[in-house]
Amino acid sequence: MPATGDELGRRLRDGDLSAAPAVLNLVESRAPGHKDEIDALLHAVSPAALGGEARAHVVGVTGPPGVGKSSLLSELVRTWRADRRSVAVLAVDPSSKRSGGALLGDRARIAVDPADRAVFIRSMAAGGRLGGLAPATRAAAHALAAAFDVVVVETVGVGQSETEIAEVADTVAVVVQPGGGDVLQFLKSGIMEIPDVLVVTKADLGQVAQRSRRDLHAALRSLGARDTEVVAVSSLAPATGFDELVAALDAHRDSLDITARRLEARRASALADFVAEHGERGRRALGGQRSALKLLGVQDAALDVPALTRVLEEAAAS
């Protein structure tokens, strides 16, 4: 008999990290009745049940294929563990529709100590679009945030993926290739929203990485984004820049109004879940994105994601 959503939620509330695999199995399940169990899980880890917002720092890490995300996460997890923080990583794998990327075989995996019980890593299937999050990923991130100190959601993409990941993450780190001008152009033209932290990888390449860092820093200042830090890291041994990266992520978290950010994230998640289920027709039935968000904006702040999704379903049906 598999664990119920309510039971798993209780274990997470008690800080039981060993519940993580069963939580992932549940949110990815297609078995009959699984939806009610997922709702029960999310209800059991809602701020109402927790007596406040979930403890974790939810960090989004996003960047183009081959930029060095997996290598970076191996080092970042090591740095957090040295600080005794428990870490869950949900790596959204776009491989089903991969168009180029790190050359096959040139792809690093996130490397962690398999005996370390306070680290949980899982690949998850992508949502509809490149960089898109599946409802299961949002549910997993919300649930695991009740038990882990850090929950990372990693996605592949550039220019769009940051917007989706901002729907679940407290802090979004965009990972940039040294010498790659895409992000600079996207930022300047306003295609891309300003990330919370920018990370230039492969700092061991020297000049080119330092130059990218300076250019990005200058571009951000000219856009008036004085608070976005640009950090350069190298994930090759001996790794460098990771204490600085952790400090930049922490500083962003400390600057947040976490209650407001999480409330916004729950509302955005509910709408995304609704659209995943009912498609564009559903969105139109609500009078479009803007009026759907307006409807969510007047709901009780204590409602969890499934309850907010039901509000949308009732509105669309009436």
Ligand X SMILES: Nc1nc2c(ncn2[C@@H]2O[C@H](COP(=O)(O)OP(=O)(O)OP(=O)(O)O)[C@@H](O)[C@H]2O)c(=O)[nH]1
Residues that bind ligand X (CB under 6 A): 65-71, 101-102, 106-108, 156, 201-202, 204-205, 234-236
* Closest to Mg ion by CB, 69 or 202: 69
| Residue 47 falls in which region: left (phi positive, over 0), alpha (psi -120 to 50) or beta | alpha
Residue of this chain nearest to Mg ion (CB atom): 70
Residues 6+ apart with CB under 8 A from 24: 122, 124, 140
The dihedrals phi and psi of 299, each to the nearest 5 degrees, come to: -80, 160
Residues 46-85 vs Mg ion: string with x where CB under 5 A?
Answer: -----------------------xx---------------
Task: State the nearest-atom distance from the C-beta of 98 to Mg ion, in Å.
Answer: 11
The interface partner of residue 106, options being ligand X, Mg ion, none and the CB cut-off 5 to 8 Å by kind, is ligand X
Residue 102 or 275: the one with the smaller Cβ distance to Mg ion is: 102
Least distance to Mg ion, CB of residue 315, Å:
39
Asked if 173 contacts 142 with a C-beta cutoff of 8 angstroms, the reply is: no
Q: How far is the CB of 139 from ligand X (least distance, A)?
A: 23
Q: Compute the least distance from the CB of residue 181 to ligand X, in Å.
A: 18
- From ligand X, Mg ion, none, interface partner of 171 (C-beta below 5 to 8 A by class): none
With CB under 5 to 8 Å by kind, the binding choice for 256 among Mg ion, ligand X, none is: none
Residue whose CB is less far from ligand X, 103 or 317: 103
Site size for Mg ion (CB under 5 A) = 2
CB closer to ligand X out of 5 and 94: 94
Pick what 68 binds: ligand X, Mg ion, none; C-beta below 5 to 8 Å, kind-dependent: ligand X
| Complex with Mg ion: residue 11 or 69, whichever CB lies closer | 69
Based on the shown chain and the rule CB under 5 A, indicate whether residue 235 belongs to the binding site for Mg ion: no
Structure tokens that stand for 103 in this block: 């050359």
Look at residue 241 and give the partner it binds from Mg ion, ligand X, none, a contact being a CB closer than 5 to 8 Å depending on partner kind.
none
| Cα–Cα nearest to 12, from 22, 33, 295 | 22
CB of 96 to Mg ion, least distance (A): 15
d(Cα 317, Cα 40) in Å, to the nearest integer? 23
Task: Pick the closer one to ligand X by CB: 140 or 209.
Answer: 209
Q: Which residues bind Mg ion (CB under 5 A)?
A: 69-70
